[in-house]
Structure 1
Amino acid sequence: MTVLSACGSDDVLRTPDGRPISTSTTRIAEVNLVHPDRDYSKTCLSPTPADPGRPDPARIVVTDPALLDAVCALGIGGKVVAVTAAPGSVPAYLGPQLTGVPAIGVSPDRAEATRLKPDLVLTTPATATSAAAFAGVRSSSVDPSDWEAAFRAAAGALGRSSAADRRLREFHTEASAIGARKDAAHTEVSLVRFGPDSETIAGTRSFAGQILTLVGAQRPQRQRQPEPLTVGEDNFTAADGDLIYVSFEPDGLDHGKSVLLSDRWLDMGAPTWKRVLGVDDEVWYRASGLAAGWLVLNDIKESLTGNSAEY
């Protein structure tokens, strides 16, 4: 979870002369955060070998930051020499190895491409034009719409199909084991995201919704649709469940705090029982991939049967 030292004046610790003291926020509007001080330097998994007889690229350029999750999950982030994106566009959860990769803009010139000397360009249909400067270099396009299929496709391009199969099996096995240990089948989990002026229930097709399905957790009756549902006056209590995970979209913190402290919210079942927990929106929803999946799974493992008073 990113340090939230500016969550409003009531959340900021200050020195006697008024200067803010940098701290990791662990609680927002009476809601405790799951893993607020997570060490992202440990996100990426151990290195994997290339399949026998398959090319093992040594220098990789990625045109879409979303594809870096697969590289991270395969443990070969050190091979990435550049990402064709704007500076700061690499997700923070990928850790310092990948956030430190040079971001060279969406339209690098031929001289920059030549200097980098990549032997593989990993791209997506939406960012294919960014690969134009690397003409003549082996390129592989990955459709990121389905995260497991995207991981397998990226791993195939990286010469690591066997490793991808093994790591996905490990993930599914662990998800099932966590679900059994936590009795997930008897827990209805609500997923609520706060925007700048709205709140949305995440559908089953969301990234977090898919991971919860793998764990075997249930969703409240009114949350079992694939697509997100906007919360309004007529369906406010649809946000309730045995446990509510809340998160804050960019610029959604202030609105989220106002809802979390409202009488209407506090009168629902889960808030009354202190069964509301905060999670990292970037990892649970805006990310997609096996590396992010492990972070979500570990959050669920630590919190599915807990409540705010335990954090």
Structure 2
Amino acid sequence: MPVSARVRTRFPSALVVFAAAGTLLLAGCGQQTDDASTIIRTTTNIAGAGVVGLERDTSQACPLPSRPDPGPATRAVTHTGGVAQVPADPQRIVVLGTPALDAACALGLWERVVGATTLTGPVPQPDYLGYGVKRIPSVGPDGAPDPARIAELDPDVIIGTEGQGDYAALAAIAPTVLAGTGSGWAAEFTGLAEGLARADAAEAVLAGYRADAPATGAEPAVAAAQAQASVVRFGAGSITVLGTDSFAGGVLTDIGVRRPQNQRGASFTVPADKLEQVEGDVIFVLFDGEAGREYGESVLRSASWKELGAASDQRVFAVEDTIWHGSGPVAARALLTDVRQNLNGYVGG
């Protein structure tokens, strides 16, 4: 389908509830609850963009605990920091970064997480992981964990991604696994799962996702191949088109969603006077923090933005940055839900 502002085919709104969850993610979330009075989702429109995820059900984001891999009481895990001897079934876990918390959630081990790094901003952890994870004690900000706080928690294992803190200091406290980030989110998740002795469970999670992503795109109400979706992230004074090398771009590819011709490669920045480069049949927008939202709103209110075909068609949707610019199977499934409900939707009046 062309993305011309003059020639477009309209699709009926597809407000379909996402139900194609993988085997492990169907189990429910133990004691995880969604406290509506705490997770407030009331903003329905941002500068003309419809806000996605207002009715997201996070009560089943994390399944029941998965089984550990068979084997000895400890096993060697090779990772970016070296080799760690991790316990077969850790009971006290510290996670460093959202990808590690997403992994613990996806494997059903979030209730064993005794400490986690936290986000800057109004909430300590992403909303999409549910209310329960927000009560996990902080071990410092994301990217700068405090070894003293971690040591006080007496963890069995520490997991995170490369660049999260001083590896030697962390490894002196407990076996530490830092997964690589250069081979895509699925490989990153597998590395984190190995640190939790859950490689088999991780493969089952990924197998479910790999089956559900194209099935979602093939749904008649979704018809992923018939629309070209643009993905734009606003920073503090910057506009970035997320290409197929990004997390969101990879998941969209798995679903079968087409991208505009110029977005079928690496991510790139766009000058504010070249907004035609972000055109699509539908545009999903992300805001990097409060500064990104402020700048993004100013662009969305501009005359140049309003001239875009997707804007005039009321097909611009604001999505959660922690999901679309995230990493991990729980974020990927939340993104499937967003696409299924909004790819062919229109912003309400």
Query: More deviation in 200-209 or 48-57?
Result: 48-57
- Mapping of 1:22-101 within 5 angstroms? 24-53=42-71, 55-83=88-116, 90-101=125-136
- Mapping of 1:218-297 within 5 angstroms? 218-233=258-273, 235-250=274-289, 251-285=291-325, 287-297=326-336
Q: TM-score, normalised by structure 2?
A: 0.74
Inter-partner Cα distance in structure 2 for 1:86 and 1:170: 29
Question: For the Cα contact (< 8 Å) 1:193–1:202, is it kept in 2?
Answer: yes
Other-structure match for 1:177: 215
RMSD between aligned residues: 2.4
Deviation of 1:85 after TM superposition, in Å, equals 6.0
Question: For the Cα contact (< 8 Å) 2:115–2:150, is it kept in 1?
Answer: no
Is 1:201 matched up with 2:238? no
Query: Given the superposition, is the C-alpha separation of residues 229 and 101 from structure 1 closer, same or farther in structure 2, using an over 3 Å criterion?
Result: same
Query: Given the superposition, is the C-alpha separation of residues 175 and 136 from structure 1 closer, same or farther in structure 2, using an over 3 Å criterion?
Result: same
Query: Given the superposition, is the C-alpha separation of residues 135 and 255 from structure 1 closer, same or farther in structure 2, using an over 3 Å criterion?
Result: closer
Query: Given the superposition, is the C-alpha separation of residues 120 and 131 from structure 1 closer, same or farther in structure 2, using an over 3 Å criterion?
Result: farther
Inter-partner Cα distance in structure 2 for 1:199 and 1:113: 37
Inter-partner Cα distance in structure 2 for 1:85 and 1:269: 39
For 2:107, give the aligned amino acid: L
Question: For the Cα contact (< 8 Å) 2:161–2:180, is it kept in 1?
Answer: yes
Is 1:151 matched up with 2:169? no
Other-structure match for 1:137: 174
Question: For the Cα contact (< 8 Å) 2:99–2:160, is it kept in 1?
Answer: no
Question: For the Cα contact (< 8 Å) 1:123–1:131, is it kept in 2?
Answer: no
Query: Given the superposition, is the C-alpha separation of residues 85 and 298 from structure 1 closer, same or farther in structure 2, using an over 3 Å criterion?
Result: closer
Inter-partner Cα distance in structure 1 for 2:223 and 2:255: 10
Deviation of 1:294 after TM superposition, in Å, equals 1.0
For 2:224, give the aligned amino acid: A
Q: Please, which runs of 5 or more residues in structure 2 have no aligned partner?
A: 1-39, 73-87
Inter-partner Cα distance in structure 2 for 1:254 and 1:61: 34
SS at structure 2 position matched to 1:226: coil
Shift >4 Å, 4+ stretches: 84-89, 112-115
Other-structure match for 1:19: none
Is 1:301 matched up with 2:347? no
Greater relative contact order: 1 or 2 (C-alpha under 8 angstroms, separation 6 or more)? 2
Other-structure match for 1:164: 202
In terms of fraction of residues, the more helix-rich structure is: 1
Query: Given the superposition, is the C-alpha separation of residues 136 and 23 from structure 1 closer, same or farther in structure 2, using an over 3 Å criterion?
Result: closer
Inter-partner Cα distance in structure 1 for 2:171 and 2:252: 40
Structure 1 vs Structure 2: percent identity of aligned residues? 37
Query: More deviation in 152-161 or 245-254?
Result: 245-254
Q: TM-score, normalised by structure 1?
A: 0.83
Is 1:122 matched up with 2:168? no
Question: For the Cα contact (< 8 Å) 2:217–2:255, is it kept in 1?
Answer: yes
In terms of fraction of residues, the more strand-rich structure is: 2
Inter-partner Cα distance in structure 1 for 2:234 and 2:160: 31
Q: Please, which runs of 5 or more residues in structure 1 have no aligned partner?
A: 1-21
Q: Deviations over 1:196-249 (max 9, x none)?
A: 32322112111111110101111111222212232332x321111111111222
Inter-partner Cα distance in structure 1 for 2:170 and 2:321: 34
Query: Given the superposition, is the C-alpha separation of residues 86 and 164 from structure 1 closer, same or farther in structure 2, using an over 3 Å criterion?
Result: closer
Q: How many residues align?
A: 285
Question: For the Cα contact (< 8 Å) 1:57–1:120, is it kept in 2?
Answer: yes
Inter-partner Cα distance in structure 2 for 1:23 and 1:279: 12
Query: More deviation in 160-169 or 248-257?
Result: 248-257
